Chain A
């Protein structure tokens, strides 16, 4: 018994040490670069235009601000690949284009002759999924149609879960379907019975899908349950957009009641609520916690939405058409906006994560590195059964099974093998084991477990009383209180 306890403490200490090493590495050894935009005292940063910023920075960064004028084929949906190098554009009237947006090298450009509701990259830049008018199509990066999946019909929105290789689709017929893109099988088809699903986002921390509905509720789904895991009433009107931060702590929603609300998604509590004069139709959160909200043809970027109360936007930009798609580029200070008149890439200093991990998403990876990464990622593909609200569920002690097994053992044996033996006081010589002395010794040991419990309860009570005493507001009228 002692050996196991020692082992556990040793392991725990070692894990703490490792954690400390990682924190030291991340905080002190990695190049720390604070990127920002600062105006002078009178000037608001939101009045600084993109052209000014593009002129002020170096050529390569300045080239990251550009506009693509594509007026013919309707408002555009945008998706950046996981490494942030490739960009996929899907126009409402069927225009599809994927290219490397930094070198402007076009990979493919086709017109699918049907209306497109959403586009999504799959795990690499070699395949992407397009939700067309009737069915779901998968294309190669050269524009060749690979699959037409008829089971997935009337898809409005899609989300790709990269570590599970699952493509989650939300349809107009209120079905939420999961497709495993490595095996090609449909993992789950959930009838949500909540109407047309056109607001969708994923929680990158635990792979839960958030759906927003027209009655103001946001529901959380996992492929293992037929009912929603959580149903939250967020807005008084319909929900227009949802976004979750990468650590899975905060959820930002915007609704028809022109409010922008921030929730703590772990405790399921509202944190702050802001009023936007025109509401926000699209939301996107960057890797460093910047929030972009689009209303009509204006895109506003806010900083630190959850910690400090925000009064004005960090940056703002007006695009040509009404905004249809919004996404921050993963490891760059760039925000991609798809709108009615094409695509705009705008500079947002401080949005991207400066230090990427070479083994996970590496924008500078070679073909060989990509191949190795793909094989390893497929081997580590997480089964959909493990998706739950708490991703560390597997690491918990399974007390329920232990209790069940213990009960079965007691039943089969007839006695409890773990039960404490009755205390038999040691027989002492020289008259020290008289009846009274033995009784006294027995009393010392009696009710030990109850005593501990009572002690703990008393301690807790004292703590609470202290807390209450501190929090009570001191007013002049206190002396009259009884």
Chain B
């Protein structure tokens, strides 16, 4: 008889009495590993008849993944202790991921090493509050402004043994400065106080001053993408936009309540988010200021600071209600809330440049280091761990709308005080008040 061998299964063809028979016959050598040092052989067959209940099994895996995420959600990493008064402002080092600068309300400036979680340098920068700290784009020096009407430039290197801390440069101003920001790649910086000034580092008087009849400004920010644009928050409840190359401001949008800070999206050239006193954050497109792109509502007290992740997909907001919330850029509600009993009113917040950590400076003199993704495993992951994490993440996204999974994924423990913040429903007759969408409600006017 003839022997026909097809791959994997040997079969025999017999011509005795003109009968042909082929029977399934497996050679164990093809399916079992040769030595103990080999890996196991795993033949695959993706035929769906061998894998029934796909949706139910994936749903169960998604449910397990969601529950495990809640189990492993431990975002708090460390608390940086050392300031003797509330932390007023934070600054990221432009070239180093592990350096952080913080300015406090008693004029003290500290430089921290985040890997060792300790303070490496302390200096008395100003008398009174430090209103703004920013590191120059090259990373070799940094600027501070304070309540004593001065702008000081310091070097990044720690002074040698026995030497005193001396600023590289001091500029005296006429009025108090309340905010500071540096250009992405030119040696130009901007301050705000009673008016917005653009300074050249070599000159001791501003090269340009913008004013629009406003009393005072609370913050100023350069656009990281369109580097000549600036945005500022003014005390007349408006946000004013400037172009550094022009002599007058561009336009302003007046809202119902004052904004505390604003932050530009590092990925979208024209989008910025402002942290408002009416417990919301508003994302605007600077070209169309009539309506915000999105209203982000979840805080229960004034929002004090906002910072974008370097990916531009999410931002973090710090609020007077002792919590930090992380919002996706196009979602009206937060995906995460961080709070601790020991953390009081959060004044400033920063998202680290590797998009993995969040730093918050608060009223009780501590700076806290948090994970951006609460359940993420830090450090170098093996290939299998990464694959498993990606698979779980995808499953959670796929089934996120199912009620059981949504209930578990949304569950956060909040302090008891939050149960008092309940928003009532209006009792007006339907149809009597003209219906305005949420977006239209908050903008009063746009002035060019």
Contact = CB atoms under 8 A, between A and B. Distances in A.
Interface of A: 22, 25-26, 30-40, 43, 48, 52-53, 56-58, 60-61, 163, 204-207, 246-247, 331-333, 347, 349-350, 352-364, 366, 368-369, 379-383, 386, 391-395, 412-415
Contact of B25 (A57, A363, A391): A57
A381 B60 contact: yes
A258 B415 CA distance: 72
B17 to A, nearest CB: 7
Contacts of B41: 358, 364
Contact of B24 (A53, A352, A366, A369): A352
5 contacts: A25-B46, A56-B14, A349-B23, A358-B44, A394-B55
B19 A354 contact: no
A354 B46 contact: no
Interface string B1-34: 1000011111110101111111111001001100
Nearest to A369: B40
A456 to B, nearest CB: 29
Contacts of A366: 32, 40
A52 B12 contact: no
Contact of A380 (B25, B49, B60): B60
B185 interface: no
A415 B431 contact: yes
Among A34, A163, A412, max chain B CB count under 10 A is at: A163
A364 B45 contact: no
Given A163-B57, A357-B51, A360-B51, A332 B24 contact: yes
A25 B244 CA distance: 60
A39 B23 contact: no
Contacts of A383: 60
Main secondary structure of the interface of A (DSSP, over half): loop
B199 interface: no
B379 interface: no
A354 B25 CA distance: 9
B55 A26 contact: no
Contacts of B31: 363-364
B402 A394 contact: yes
A207 B53 contact: yes
Contacts of A395: 55
A297 to B, nearest CB: 24
A163 B55 CA distance: 12
B21 A56 contact: yes
Interface in B35-90: 40-57, 59-61, 64
B425 interface: yes
A33 to B, nearest CB: 5
Given A33-B24, A35-B11, A205-B52, A357 B64 contact: no
Contact of A26 (B45, B57, B435): B45
Contact of A37 (B21, B48, B60, B64): B21
A259 to B, nearest CB: 28
B430 interface: yes
Nearest to A204: B52
B19 A355 contact: no
A57 B28 contact: no
A33 B21 contact: no
Given A355-B43, A364-B31, A369-B40, A392 B24 contact: no
A362 B431 CA distance: 67
A306 to B, nearest CB: 15
Contacts of A36: 20-22
A391 B14 CA distance: 44
Contacts of B22: 33-37, 349-350
Given A22-B46, A383-B60, A392-B55, A38 B19 contact: yes
B11 A33 contact: yes
Nearest to B64: A379
Nearest to A21: B46
A57 B12 contact: yes
A354 B9 contact: yes
A60 B21 contact: no
B331 to A, nearest CB: 12
Nearest to B22: A35
Ranked 5 nearest A-B pairs via Cβ:
A414-B430, A358-B42, A40-B18, A364-B31, A56-B14
B57 A382 contact: yes
Given A57-B12, A163-B56, A394-B402, 20 more contacts: A33-B6, A33-B11, A35-B23, A56-B1, A56-B21, A58-B25, A60-B25, A61-B25, A206-B52, A352-B24, A358-B41, A358-B44, A359-B42, A362-B42, A369-B40, A379-B61, A382-B60, A386-B59, A391-B52, A392-B55
